[in-house]
Amino acid sequence: MVVPLEHAQILVAGVVTAASAAGSLTEYAEAIMRATAAGEVAPDIAASLLSALAQLGRLRALDELERRLVALEKAREA
């Protein structure tokens, strides 16, 4: 059963809450997939969530690269 759009926000909030407790982006994606497979989140909403999650992953990777670069530059100056 696919949830109507008007109920999606509440269900998505539940998925987000459950995934936030899990912590990692992978666990978050798995929570979205489980909710979709259970019919709790519509596939189009799940696709949007997963797309946003992928973008967040790319941003986190860039942040990590920047952090490492700054550390290398500081070590080089010392």
Q: What is the residue-level pLDDT of the chain in tens, covering all 78 positions?
A: 454 555 555 555 666 565 555 578 888 889 889 989 999 888 998 999 899 989 989 999 999 999 999 999 999 998
- Listing DSSP states for the chain in one string gives -PPPHHHHHHHHHHHHHHHHHH-SHHHHHHHHHHHHHTTSS-HHHHHHHHHHHHHHHHHHHHHHHHHHHHHHHHHHH-
Q: What is the pTM of this model?
A: 0.67
The domain spans of the chain are 5-77
